[in-house]
Amino acid sequence: MLLTVAAVTAVGMVIAALMPAIGRSGQALVMSADVANDRLSSRIEIVQATGVPDDTQVLAWAKNTGSTTVSAVNKADVFFGPQDNFARIPYGEPGCTAPCWSYVVENDTIWNPTSTIKVITDLVDPLEAGETYYLKIVMPNGIEDTKFFTL
């Protein structure tokens, strides 16, 4: 009898110790599934990038080709420069002091699926004719696209 009580008590203590860990593991799995779903349903495409020689502004258009709204666009990373000498450009509101980038949603109020944003990158140094430039946009969830273009 005493052995049965001890066994039941031991099982109860093991369950009490493991339940919080099992709960945390379940929450971690749900969060991982949410992140994976976000990445799988998100997609962007840089459809066009252009500039004018001797100018200090690059315009690019990126389309949300995924199935979810892209939020926190201002937290994206933009990399730009000659293909062998590019740098991360910090975000700034429209009209920011170079170097910086800003964006405008072109055909919606937020970056919904099928919507396009115009990314305006203001540079310190002017663009050069004949140079090949590299543009990469990386969203906060890791979705990215790259575009090379030559002036």
Residues 19 and 88 in one domain: no
Residues 64 and 36 in one domain: no
Tens digits of per-residue pLDDT, 65-104?
A: 999 999 899 999 999 999 889 999 999 988 889 999 999 9
Residues 36 and 91 in one domain: no
Q: Find where tokens 């910090």 sit.
A: 90
Domain enclosing residue 9, as ranges: 1-41
Residues 48 and 36 in one domain: no
Number of domains within the chain: 2
Residues 78 and 124 in one domain: yes
Query: Is 135 in contact with 51 (CB distance < 8 Å)?
Result: no
Report CA-CA distances (Å) from 31 to 72, 75, 121: 19, 21, 34
Residues 53 and 12 in one domain: no
Residues 67 and 31 in one domain: no
Residues 56 and 70 in one domain: yes
CATH number of the domain where residue 81 is located: 2.60.40.10
- Segment 48-64 mean pLDDT: 97
CA dist., res. 82 & res. 72, Å (int) = 27
Structure tokens at 120: 């305006």
Q: Find where tokens 């170097």 sit.
A: 99
Q: Is the pLDDT of residue 16 over 90?
A: no
Residues 133 and 59 in one domain: yes
